[in-house]
Structure 1
Amino acid sequence: MQEVTAEILIERVWAYCEKILSGEIKACQKHRWAVQRFFKDVEALADPDCPFYYDAEAVLDFYEWARQFRHVEGILAGEPIELTDFQLFIAANVYGFFKKENGARRFRKVYIQLARKNAKSQFLALMASYEVFPTTEKHRVFIAGWSREQSDEVYQAILEQLQHAPILEGKYTSANGRVKKYKTNSIIQPLSREARKLGDGKNPSLGIVDKLFVA
């Protein structure tokens, strides 16, 4: 089996983008705009005055993190999670671009819109656990939805992934409706409707809003 490198992943992303723009892969106009923006952002990196830089190794880190987990249902049950091309495209945008001035990620807000049965909860769960576990810093991840049931969808996906990941055995606890990492006291927690009414500030490292409704 060929070793996966950062260069191979970026080539995958680039090929996927080209297929979107050529029409080989059918996509809506907004997704085509996202691909065009990605090409434009990459081209801008050649300018020495560009305030951003790209770290393909960071994308590889997220890809390798995803492969630590396994599918828990369907025909792929038991197999390592292999990011699809569109998931890798999202990761390449979110985890690849950084600010030169302070090394922070360029994109702090991400809107992901997918049709049903496209592993959205699985992908969001990977992002949540990636924020907490492969770091020595304390992080707080909160999941919100229109209802507690909706926020629980992503939270349950997180629990299923963690429970089937040998590398995390003994490194966390899941009790009282939240996951807590032992070494750093980092947490992953779904929010209730009552928390929204109280308006308490949570100061999250990562906030996930599942099934966002805009009036």
Structure 2
Amino acid sequence: MTPSRARKPRADAERSRAAILDATVQVLDADPEASVEAIAASAGVTRQTVYAHFPSREQLLAAVLDRLTGEAVAAMDAADLDSGSATGALLRLLDAGRRTSGRYPVLLQQLSSLPVSAHADHQRHEPVANRLKRVVQRGQDTGEFDNQLSPDWLVAVTIKLGHAASEEVDAGRMSSAEATATLHTSLLRVFGATDSS
């Protein structure tokens, strides 16, 4: 088999996989109970093709969550986290994550209820945690953030408070704007931030 023939099926499979993930995001954000058949129809593939890539609905949803995490990380990288104050970088990082999750509120609520192992959860959060830790360490090095708390602890607190803010919105106890403002205020206090920009 020639190399070009070997590459074509792989490229076709990658396109099919991407189309399935795109369709899953759109279909399930509109209707969390939508069937695999509906996802396949939206992707322009057969149900069997969906199952060939994702043998179970849980695996499909896990792949969607990985994709959304990748989108959030790309948005964070575009927020230029190494410029300006560490406080400003922290707020830009949080806003980048919020903008990404805000595009898929129904889908993310469904995904948050999926059972996940502690190891898988750690791996999924790791790219975000690494960027957050870099901002925290920069802020501690410049004296903007209190350095009595470890960067790892501040990263963990940030992730937990971010989830808490989302849960308050999902439960209807806060608007998105209220949750964002409350999260920012809470984190700046925990961090002992000296610069409010």
TM-score (norm. length: structure 1): 0.27
Relative to its length, the structure with more strand (as a share) is 1
Report which of the two structures shows the higher radius of gyration computed on alpha carbons.
2
TM-score (norm. length: structure 2): 0.29
